[in-house]
Amino acid sequence: MTFIEKFSIIIMLLQGVVMFFDEFYFHHKRKLPKWERIGHPIDTFFFILCYLVVLFLPMTKLTIMVYLFFAILSCLVIIKDEIIHINKCSVYEQYLHAILFILHPVVLIILFFTWSSIVNIGVENSIFLKVININNFIKFQFYLVMLFFTYQIVYWNFIYKENKLNAKISYK
C-alpha cells in the first residue's frame, strides 16, 4: 500500500470519527428539530450518490461529469443548515462542522482519484495488504455510510420522539 493510500484511509477514517462524534455527542445532546431530522439524511444521500457512481459505473466522460455534479451538489447541500446552526449549536459543534466541511470535499477528491482502480485491485505480496487496501476500504466505507443513512432516517424520524418541552427549547 502506498503512502497516498494510507494517508487517504486516515483522512476517510478521520471524517468518520468526526461525523460519529457530531452525531452521537452533539446531536443527541441538543436533540434535533424536525428540519434537521429530515435535512441530515438528505446530506448523506447526496454523499451516497457519489459512492454509487464510483462503485457501480465505469469511468467515462459522461460519468465523470455526473460524479462532479453530485460531488459539487453534495458539498453545497451540507452547508444548507449553517445559517440556522449559528443560533442553535454550540461553538464546539460549529468547529466540528468546520472540520467536516474541510474533510468532505477531500474525501470526495480521494474517491474520485481512486475510481479508476476500484475494479482493478492490484496484487500485493502480503495477504493482509490484499484485504486492507484503499479500494476495499472505500467499499467498506460505502456500507458504513449506507448504515448511517438508515440510522439517520429510522432513529430521528421513527424512534426519537420529540416531546413538547424539546420543541419549545431555544438554543440561543
58: pLDDT strictly greater than 70: yes
Taking the CA atoms of 158, 163, 167 and 172 in sequence, report the sign of the dihedral they define.
Answer: negative
| Confidence band of 10 (pLDDT split at 50, 70, 90) | very high
Residue-level pLDDT at 1: 82
Residues 28-56: tens digit of each pLDDT: 999 999 999 999 999 999 999 999 999 99
C-alpha pair distances (Å), 13 with each of 26, 54, 77: 19, 19, 22
Residue-level pLDDT at 130: 54
Residues 75-130: tens digit of each pLDDT: 999 999 998 888 899 999 999 999 999 999 999 999 999 998 875 544 444 344 45
142 Cβ contact list (under 8 Å, min separation 6): 48, 51, 55
Say if CB 22 and CB 93 are below 8 A apart: yes
Residues 123-146: tens digit of each pLDDT: 444 344 455 688 899 999 999 999
Mean pLDDT of the chain: 88
Residue-level pLDDT at 116: 87
